[in-house]
Structure 1
């Protein structure tokens, strides 16, 4: 495995084109399926960390990045956005959502 593969990071599909438009030539390769899934998981952690440190103005854009990675992970698992939403709805129906801001501190 060359150094690019060891140190590279997963980027959005248009990033190489944007780099070219800025006058540089990106060095890229297409990840194999197992590497792609691993890098998506890494990317999710990266995007969540960026969201957690974002101020209120930047938070919506960072949250959209998290959603983009979640959708890519779902697609990689063979689940489309509609199926993912149905799974979310089922869990919310069975266990609730987070709208009521309930904090559990243990049992008596």
Structure 2
């Protein structure tokens, strides 16, 4: 299901409660599986964009938002945080991480 910005956005679970505490009444519904996956992917792009625009002070908080969405995407795929970490570790063991700061310029 395709949706546009005008058709709402995925928000954290407590946002409706916080809106009510501020005196407004939110209009919400729970997305079905297909829409949820689509909206999570949109949310990942949104959170990554916010991280890329963040200054050094707000970058850790924005990165935590990215991680929250990544974990929700993993859970939707049936992968818990521990399994995701094991997959990451395996891939890092095979191909390395990014701590070496290596920039590839192509081959000769």
Shorter-chain TM-score above 0.5: yes
**Whole-Å separation in 2 of the counterparts to 1:34 and 1:7:** 16
Gaps of 5+ in 1: none
- 1:1-108 matches, within 5 Å, as 7-108=7-108
**Whole-Å separation in 1 of the counterparts to 2:51 and 2:83:** 25
The alpha-carbon deviation at position 102 of structure 1 amounts to: 0.1
TM-score, structure 2 as length reference: 0.95
1:47-97: CA deviations, max 9, x gaps? 000000000000000000000000000000000000000000000000000
- Partner SS, residue 49 of structure 1: helix
**Count of residues paired in the alignment:** 105
The alpha-carbon deviation at position 6 of structure 1 amounts to: 6.0
TM-score, structure 1 as length reference: 0.95
**Whole-Å separation in 2 of the counterparts to 1:79 and 1:91:** 16
Runs of 4+ in 1 over 2 A off after TM superposition: none
**Whole-Å separation in 1 of the counterparts to 2:8 and 2:36:** 12
1:12-68: CA deviations, max 9, x gaps? 000000000000000000000000000000000000000000000000000000000
Gaps of 5+ in 2: none
